[in-house]
Amino acid sequence: MNKKLLALLMGASMVMAACGGGGDKDSASEVNPEKLYNQKCSGCHGGDLKGGTGPDLSKIGAALSKDEIQKIIEEGKGGMPSGLYKGEEASKVAEWLAEKK
Q: Give the count of domains, the chain.
A: 1
How does pLDDT run across 22-63, given as a tens digit for each residue? 444 444 468 899 999 999 999 999 999 999 999 999 999 999
SS3 of 60-88: HHHHCCHHHHHHHHHHCECCECCCCCCHH
| pTM higher than the cut 0.95 | no
Domain span at residue 25 reads: 2-98
Q: What is the CATH number of the domain that holds 53?
A: 1.10.760.10
State residue 25's pLDDT score.
45
Buried b (16+ CB within 10 A) or exposed e, 68-92: ebbebbbeeeeebeeebbeeebbbb
State residue 30's pLDDT score.
85
